[in-house]
Amino acid sequence: DTGVSQDPRHKITKRGQNVTFRCDPISEHNRLYWYRQTLGQGPEFLTYFQNEAQLEKSRLLSDRFSAERPKGSFSTLEIQRTEQGDSAMYLCASSFSGSSTNEKLFFGSGTQLSVL
Amino acid sequence: QKEVEQDPGPLSVPEGAIVSLNCTYSNSAFQYFMWYRQYSRKGPELLMYTYSSGNKEDGRFTAQVDKSSKYISLFIRDSQPSDSATYLCAAANTDKLIFGTGTRLQVFP
């Protein structure tokens, strides 16, 4: 399978716990994105990386959220002190951005987070 | 005002109908326009990608962009029950994609 891979598919946690999600992008892609999607809404941008550099974070993103992409390969998204409002589908996407920008994003299947 | 606006539906049509899905956007800097299909509890799947104004056809799907009116459309011909899903429009400049809310489509036999 050469698509975007996310782990775990589902996560149930109690309020106040920390959670971490992993994303493995398509291997030749240099950009990696995290989005959040709640029921009945489109995906909402959280942050993105070009190689290992985090280029942008949404202003809506609480400081409880942190993302890393060491060595420009896989990425992790951590949520500290989870709240019930964090319950959502967390989507990872990757793309190749070159001299002629071509922003076709390919998404993984997402991690469904439920905070009890 | 959201940068990309989309009617959430739901839209219910009989099999074989022509479906028209529409979005408007407000940011003149958007250069790339995409349509994604999303089945329940799955990630979005890229359906159509357009760069310039005009039409782009792929099988039963036609994407249309009118940059002068900031309007993007997706047409589905000969709709099938398997087309039942949420359709998301999205627009981008050179970095992140901005999505509409999605339109839920149901095609009944």
* Residue B96 touches chain A, beta carbons under 8 Å: yes
* Chain A, nearest residue to B90 by Cα: A42
Residues of A in contact with B102 (CB under 8 A): 40-42
Quote the tokens at residue B24.
């408007």
CA distances from B66 to A42, A61, A103, B2 (A): 22, 33, 19, 18
Confidence of residue A102 (pLDDT cuts 50, 70, 90): low
Quote the tokens at residue A44.
């909402």
Residues of A in contact with B96 (CB under 8 A): 33, 45, 48, 56
In sequence order, the 6+-apart residues with CB closer than 8 A to the CB of B16 are: B78, B79
A4-19 pLDDT, tens digit per residue, is 999 999 999 999 999 9
- Interface probe for A, chosen from B4, B33, B96, B98 (most Cβ of A below 10 Å), is B96
* Residue B40 touches chain A, beta carbons under 8 Å: no
How do strand A44-50 and strand A31-37 relate by DSSP bridges?
Answer: antiparallel
- What are A41's strand-pairing partners? none
First to last CA, chain B: 37
B43-101 pLDDT, tens digit per residue, is 999 999 988 888 999 999 999 999 999 999 999 999 999 999 999 999 988 778 999 99
